Amino acid sequence: MKTANLAVARQASRESVVLLKNDGHLLPLDAAAIKTIALSGPNADNPYYTLGHYRPGDVPVITVRQALEERFKGKAQVLYSKGADFFDAKWPDTEIFHDPPAAAEQKLIDEAAANARQADIAIVVVGDQYNGVPGVRGTVGESASRTGIELTGRQDDLIRAVVAAGKPTIVVDISGRPVALNVAKRFAPAIVQAFLPWYYFKLSNLPHETITIDLVNLAGEYDYRAPAYSVTKDTRPVYS
């Protein structure tokens, strides 16, 4: 990609990140005051959401975890735990009936919460996985129909557990469709909305860098509202 085109893609990617909630002015982060970051979530170290059928499938990928570790290298420690997968053992039944997490699922959640208790801040990176990556199961895209628009798997359980650890928590949602962030809205002090990157973002893996930069240097605002929805009560999204 030409330098001029890359600069435009970089700027577009940065400006596409939306701050949905910021209680207590948690964001932008004071990077100098942070010594330990607890990072978790299925999109925290996931390279696959940037790839797919209608985009480059073999470009080098920098994950959110890698970007954070580079951004805070020599300044802060990043404690990573996956925390949850996109799908749980009983999915899709759990889209309607919320059964308790299985033992292995609870272990992942507990590990992330334990890291959060040791950290100054916690970042939970949730959302979607594009369904167009060969061999990777997706939550959104062709042949990835859903019964609802909540986060899949145990992602909401993860958010609850990390917030309960008592440290300032930022939820980053990387998705390709409207997602009901009801749990994050109720419990987390800060929510950042990013979107599955399109073709011209892919060539330099900008969204990962964008999230890292904007958590420290957020500026501007525009109108975007996350939907609130319950498949057991209604079939119409209610925006809030």
Domain that holds residue 116: 3-239
- 223 falls in which pLDDT band (50, 70, 90)? low
Per-residue pLDDT, averaged over 225-231, amounts to: 58
Q: Is pLDDT of 78 > 70?
A: yes
Per-residue pLDDT, averaged over 213-224, amounts to: 56
If DSSP codes are grouped into helix, strand and coil, which group holds residue 116?
helix
- pLDDT digit string, tens, across residues 144-153: 778 888 899 9
Number of domains in the chain: 1
Q: Is pLDDT of 180 > 70?
A: yes
Which pLDDT value is given to residue 198?
Answer: 47
Question: Which ranges of 50-197 does DSSP label H, i.e. alpha helix?
Answer: 64-71, 103-118, 155-164, 182-187
Per-residue pLDDT, averaged over 202-221, amounts to: 53
Residue keyed to tokens 């020599």: 74
User: 115 vs 135, which has greater pLDDT?
Assistant: 115
Whole-number mean pLDDT of the chain?
81
Instruction: Name the least confident of 97-101, 105-109, 119-123, 211-215.
Output: 211-215
Per-residue pLDDT, averaged over 103-123, amounts to: 97
Alpha carbons 202 and 218: distance in angstroms, whole number? 22
User: 75 vs 208, which has greater pLDDT?
Assistant: 75
Which pLDDT value is given to residue 54?
Answer: 60
Q: Is pLDDT of 101 > 70?
A: yes
- Any idea what the CATH number is for the domain that residue 157 is in? 3.40.50.1700
- Evaluate whether 174 touches 49 at the Cβ level (below 8 Å): yes
- Evaluate whether 40 touches 80 at the Cβ level (below 8 Å): yes
- 55 falls in which pLDDT band (50, 70, 90)? low
Q: Is pLDDT of 235 > 80?
A: no
User: Percentage of residues in the chain with pLDDT exceeding 90?
Assistant: 39
Which pLDDT value is given to residue 211?
Answer: 57
- 200 falls in which pLDDT band (50, 70, 90)? very low
Of 150, 97, 125, 131, give the one whose Cα is nearest residue 207: 125
Alpha carbons 187 and 185: distance in angstroms, whole number? 6
Which pLDDT value is given to residue 201?
Answer: 40
